[in-house]
Amino acid sequence: MSQQITRTRRLRKKLHLDEFAILGFEFSFTLSSSADEQEQFLNSLAALADTENLFISLGNDNEMFEGAATSADRYGNATEANRAALETLLKGNTKVTDAKVGALVDACYEM
């Protein structure tokens, strides 16, 4: 038997639930190039983040990179347009392989 939990608006806001949920997406790619080319690509990724008003966290293990993106606005959400822009950047570069961009999900609870 499941019971519906009722929370106040204030608590939903603090917990980032319901109308206060923050959407983001995960992505991964492999970048096989020289150090200078990697730096150039990562600079273009930073420029995209600035243009699209995104926070991007990125980690790597050798040539494999994994990251997550959310809106830089306090209660903003990443959008399908943000996903498409990042996917275009990843798939448009010849040095990038195995590019995967995930669906929009709740950044606080599903990423």
DSSP letter string, 63-84: TEEEEEEEESSTT----HHHHH
Residue 51 covered by a domain: yes
Residue 1 covered by a domain: no
Q: Residue 48's domain is classified under what CATH number?
A: 3.30.70.100
Tally of structural domains, the chain: 1
Displacement of CA 23 from its chain's centroid (Å): 9
Residue 90 covered by a domain: yes
Q: Are 23 and 104 in contact (CB under 8 A)?
A: yes
Residue 33 covered by a domain: yes
The pLDDT tens digits of the residues spanning 69-92 come to 999 998 899 999 999 999 999 999
Return mean pLDDT, the chain: 92
The pLDDT tens digits of the residues spanning 55-74 come to 999 998 888 999 999 999 98
